[in-house]
Structure 1
């Protein structure tokens, strides 16, 4: 699923709840701060960059990297947000949860797209990881105030 299918309005509102901005990039223009290049989302400071052809999972993943960081560290980010395994796992978990906040997306569709893109998990799929192997990521998000005890986003 690409941003063109859902538009920029709902994702921009979601990111704003975390103090982040979504910057639309013109078609054919390189995306600033993109780690993977091509159509993949980019991050610089508190801004997530994306085009119409950017996959929704990419937008949520890069935004998730910024969300899991303490606000005082966000302005230092350019392209690569972390080398921490705990933060990477938390980012993957959070992007799945946040997919439910976007009309027409949802966690099942997002996990299918994650699998198609090539995310790798020990249990072989995003669904298996999320359901059976991600308790540490969920607990990390709860401890950092990003999810409530019910596993729902805790917006600041």
Structure 2
């Protein structure tokens, strides 16, 4: 449950000030465009029914999950989560994908490349784009040593770009 406050509103009317509640959700975007995007990388997107547990979700709750070449999401799954988990599968060599269940990597290099790639892929989704995804990542609480997703992406992600370039992936 998110904290509630009673500031600058009518008495008794709760307001949720948690910025994580403002992130774009897959249900707002629809499943067709993300499914088509994932298909270009040989991946599948499977829609999970509301209130059902998401298979292969590392973090649980509404976070996307991965098993093999399938990314699982519900309507309430944040778009950044779907792109992040898909990114984990995209950066892996195809022969490693079938073995993935829930946790794709323990590699810092792959994690950095995944974070970078999810921002790049956001430009390929109508109504999303990197600006929105960067804002959503910050609102959700992604943590980078320069203090923001934008600062990391623009000033500190040379290793992630190099990783993606070496593998012929978008960057």
Q: Tell me the TM-score normalized by structure 1.
A: 0.94
May I ask how many residue pairs the two structures share in their alignment?
Answer: 148
Runs (5+) with no aligned partner, structure 1: 152-156
| Residue in 2 that maps onto 1:73 | 96
For 1:55-77, what per-residue CA distance to the aligned partner results, in whole angstroms no more than 9, with x for missing partners?
A: 00000000000000000000000
Give 3-state SS (helix, strand or coil) of 1:30's partner.
coil
Runs (5+) with no aligned partner, structure 2: 1-23
1:114 deviates by: 0.5
How far apart in 2 are the matches of 1:79 and 1:116?
24
| Residue in 2 that maps onto 1:30 | 53
1:78 deviates by: 0.3
Residues 1:90 and 2:113 aligned together = yes
| Residue in 1 that maps onto 2:14 | none
1:50 deviates by: 0.1
1:140 deviates by: 0.8
1:23 deviates by: 0.2
1:93 deviates by: 0.2
| Residue in 2 that maps onto 1:56 | 79
List structure 1 segments (4+ residues) > 2 angstroms apart after TM superposition: none
Residues 1:108 and 2:131 aligned together = yes
How far apart in 1 are the matches of 2:52 and 2:76?
11
| Residue in 2 that maps onto 1:13 | 36
Structure with greater Cα Rg: 2
1:97 deviates by: 0.1
